[in-house]
C-alpha cells in the first residue's frame, strides 16, 4: 500500500504533543481570548491539554472557534442542501474559494453539527509559514497540496495527492473538501480549473470518468455579503495587472487573520446534489476535464445567495439605480469602502469583484 505519511494530517496519537506545542506558544493565549473572551485562560489550557483525538479537538475547541466567528463577525450564517447528503457516504466537496480558511471550516462546522464528523481539507502548502500554523492545520485534517517545483516532481506530487484523496473516500470512507481552482477567486469569478479535475483522475487512469463518479462529487457554493479581504484583493489584482505585485512575507497569514476577524455580513453555504455518471459524462468529442469543470461551474454559480452588496456593485457597474435588492445605507457603506482605495482602477476592480456573482447568474 502507498505510504501517505508525508501529506497526511496528524493521527490521534500525535495530537497531544501538537497541543502541548500550541499551549506553550506565546501567541496562543490571544487566540484563546478571542474564542473565550470571559473564560479563565489557564483553565481552558488545561482542558485542551486533556484532549486525546482529532474528533474531540474539532468538537470542542475548533467548533467553539467557528461558532465565535459566526457570532461576532457575521450578521447570520445560513445554509441549504444538507438533505442531499446520505449518512455513511463519503463525498468530495468541490467548492468556490473566497476565504483562505473559512470556506472549508464553515462546512466543517455544518458537517460536525449535522453528521457528527468532518471532512479532510486540501490546501496549498504555501500556508505553512509557521510551525504553529502547521500544528493547527494538521490537527484539523488538512492535507498540503504542493505548489511549484520541477515539472516531474510536481506531477508526482499531484499523483500522490490524487491517490490519497481516493484512498480516503473509497477505503477510509472519509469525505474531502477541495477548492475548484488553485487559490482564492480574488476577482469574484468562480470557475473550476480543468487541471483540478485532471488531478483527480490520475488515480483512476484506466477509466477517468468512472474514477470521478466514484468520488461522489458535491458542488459547494459559499457567499459572503462582505469580504474582509476585499481591499487587499483589489490592491493585489491592480498591482498584478500592472506588473508590480510581489507577495510580502507572511502575507498569507495576514489574509487568514483578516478573513477570520473581519466583518462578513451575512454568509450562506449551499451544498449541491451529488453529481452522477449522467452529469459527468461529456458529449461526444468534448474533453472530460473541461466538461466536468463547466458542470461544476454551473452548479456552484447557481448555488450563490446574491447579497445586497452584489447588487450595489452590479448597479454601479451598469450605471443603474435600482434599490429593490438593497437600501441606501448599504449603498453608502459600499461607497465608503470604495473610497478607501487610492485610485479609480482599484475601485473599479472591487466593483467588478462584488458584481461578478450577479453577472454569472444572468448569463
Cα dihedral value 98, 100, 106, 111, nearest 10: 110
- 212 with 317, same domain? no
Residue pLDDT, tens place only, 338-357: 999 999 999 999 999 999 99
- 348 with 204, same domain? no
Residue pLDDT, tens place only, 49-108: 999 999 999 999 999 999 999 999 999 999 999 999 999 999 999 999 999 999 999 999
Residue pLDDT, tens place only, 229-270: 999 999 999 999 998 788 877 788 889 889 999 999 999 999
d(CA 236, CA 257): 17
**What's the mean pLDDT when you consider all of the chain?**
93
Confidence of residue 278 (pLDDT cuts 50, 70, 90): very high
Radius of gyration over every alpha carbon of the chain, rounded to an integer in angstroms:
21
Confidence of residue 1 (pLDDT cuts 50, 70, 90): low
To the nearest 10 degrees (0 to 180), the angle between helices 251-261 and 230-241 is 150
Last residue of a domain, one of 290, 305, 320: 305
For residue 195, give the CATH number of its domain: 3.40.1130
d(CA 324, CA 178): 35
pLDDT at residue 18, rounded to an integer: 94
d(CA 184, CA 40): 37
pLDDT at residue 343, rounded to an integer: 95
Domain membership of residue 14 (yes or no) is no
pLDDT at residue 129, rounded to an integer: 67
Using DSSP's 3-state secondary structure scheme, residue 139 falls into coil
d(CA 34, CA 32): 5
- 277 with 326, same domain? no
Nearest to 162 by CA among 141, 176, 182: 176
Residue pLDDT, tens place only, 11-52: 999 999 999 999 999 888 888 888 999 989 999 999 999 999
- 328 with 198, same domain? no
Domain membership of residue 298 (yes or no) is yes
pLDDT at residue 17, rounded to an integer: 95
Q: Is 328 exposed, middle or buried (0-12, 13-18, 19+ CB in 10 A)?
A: exposed
d(CA 79, CA 107): 9
Domain membership of residue 353 (yes or no) is yes
* The pLDDT of residue 159 is above 70: yes
Domain membership of residue 346 (yes or no) is yes
Note if the pTM is more than 0.75: yes
Domain membership of residue 93 (yes or no) is yes
d(CA 45, CA 360): 46
Domain membership of residue 285 (yes or no) is yes
- 220 with 262, same domain? yes
Residue pLDDT, tens place only, 318-331: 987 766 789 999 99
Total domains in the chain come to: 2
Angle at 255 between CA 189 and CA 12, to 5 degrees: 105
- 230 with 263, same domain? yes
DSSP string, 201-258: HGGGTTSHHHHHHTT-EEEEEEEESS-TTHHHHHHHHHHHHTT---PPTTHHHHHHHH
C-alpha distances in Å from residue 209, one per residue of 31, 109, 314: 44, 31, 38
C-alpha cell of residue 360 = 454569472
Cα dihedral value 221, 224, 229, 232, nearest 10: 80
d(CA 83, CA 219): 14
C-alpha cell of residue 91 = 463525498
Q: Is residue 236 a contact partner of residue 186, using CB atoms and an 8 Å limit?
A: yes
- 269 with 201, same domain? yes
C-alpha cell of residue 106 = 464553515
- 159 with 242, same domain? yes
- 333 with 241, same domain? no
- 202 with 296, same domain? yes
Last residue of a domain, one of 259, 277, 305: 305
Q: Is residue 157 a contact partner of residue 165, using CB atoms and an 8 Å limit?
A: no
Domain membership of residue 20 (yes or no) is no
* The pLDDT of residue 194 is above 70: yes
C-alpha cell of residue 181 = 481552482
The DSSP 8-state label assigned to residue 171 in this structure reads: I
Please give the backbone phi and psi of residue 348, each rounded to the nearest 5 degrees, phi first: -65, -40
d(CA 224, CA 265): 7
pLDDT at residue 70, rounded to an integer: 97
Top-confidence residue, 351 or 127: 351
Last residue of a domain, one of 305, 327, 348: 305
pLDDT at residue 42, rounded to an integer: 92
The DSSP 8-state label assigned to residue 25 in this structure reads: S
Angle at 176 between CA 171 and CA 178, to 5 degrees: 140
Confidence of residue 125 (pLDDT cuts 50, 70, 90): confident
- 281 with 331, same domain? no
d(CA 333, CA 75): 15
* The pLDDT of residue 190 is above 90: yes
Domain ranges, residue 325: 307-363
Partners of 70 in the beta sheet?
Answer: none
Domain membership of residue 130 (yes or no) is yes
d(CA 340, CA 283): 48
- 239 with 249, same domain? yes
Amino acid at each position: 500500500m502507498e505510504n501517505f505519511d508525508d501529506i497526511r494530517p496528524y493521527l490521534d496519537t500525535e495530537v497531544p504533543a501538537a497541543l502541548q506545542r500550541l499551549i506553550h506558544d506565546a501567541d496562543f493565549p490571544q487566540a484563546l481570548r478571542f474564542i473565550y473572551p470571559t473564560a479563565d485562560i489557564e483553565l481552558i489550557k488545561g482542558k485542551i491539554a486533556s484532549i486525546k483525538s482529532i474528533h474531540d479537538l474539532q468538537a470542542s475547541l475548533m467548533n467553539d472557534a467557528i461558532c465565535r466567528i459566526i457570532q461576532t463577525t457575521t450578521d447570520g450564517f445560513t445554509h441549504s442542501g444538507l438533505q442531499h447528503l446520505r449518512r455513511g457516504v463519503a463525498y468530495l466537496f468541490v467548492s468556490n474559494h473566497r476565504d483562505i480558511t473559512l470556506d472549508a471550516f464553515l462546512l466543517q462546522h455544518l458537517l460536525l453539527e449535522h453528521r457528527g464528523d468532518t471532512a479532510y481539507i486540501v490546501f496549498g502548502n504555501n500556508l505553512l509559514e509557521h510551525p504553529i500554523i502547521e500544528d493547527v492545520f494538521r490537527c484539523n485534517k488538512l492535507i498540503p497540496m504542493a505548489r511549484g517545483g520541477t515539472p516531474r516532481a510536481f506531477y508526482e506530487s499531484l499523483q500522490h495527492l490524487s491517490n490519497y484523496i481516493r484512498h480516503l473516500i473509497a477505503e477510509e470512507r472519509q469525505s474531502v473538501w477541495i477548492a475548484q481552482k488553485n487559490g482564492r477567486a480574488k476577482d469574484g469569478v468562480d470557475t473550476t480549473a480543468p487541471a483540478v479535475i485532471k488531478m483527480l483522475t490520475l488515480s483512476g487512469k484506466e477509466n477517468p470518468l468512472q474514477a470521478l463518479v466514484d468520488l461522489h462529487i458535491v458542488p459547494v457554493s459559499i457567499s459572503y455579503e462582505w469580504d474582509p479581504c476585499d481591499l487587499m484583493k483589489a490592491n493585489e489584482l491592480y498591482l498584478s495587472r500592472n506588473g508590480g505585485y510581489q507577495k510580502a512575507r507572511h502575507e498569507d497569514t495576514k489574509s487568514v487573520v483578516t478573513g477570520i476577524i473581519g466583518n462578513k455580513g451575512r454568509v450562506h453555504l449551499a451544498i449541491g446534489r451529488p453529481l452522477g455518471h449522467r452529469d459527468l459524462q461529456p458529449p461526444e468529442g468534448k474533453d472530460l476535464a473541461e466538461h466536468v469543470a463547466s458542470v461544476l461551474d454551473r452548479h456552484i454559480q447557481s448555488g450563490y445567495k446574491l447579497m445586497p452588496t452584489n447588487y450595489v456593485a452590479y448597479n454601479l457597474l451598469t450605471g443603474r439605480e435600482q434599490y429593490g435588492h438593497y437600501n441606501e445605507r448599504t449603498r453608502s457603506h459600499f461607497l465608503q469602502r470604495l473610497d478607501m482605495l487610492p485610485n479609480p482602477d482599484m475601485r473599479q476592480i472591487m466593483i467588478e469583484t462584488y458584481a461578478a456573482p450577479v453577472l454569472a447568474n444572468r448569463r
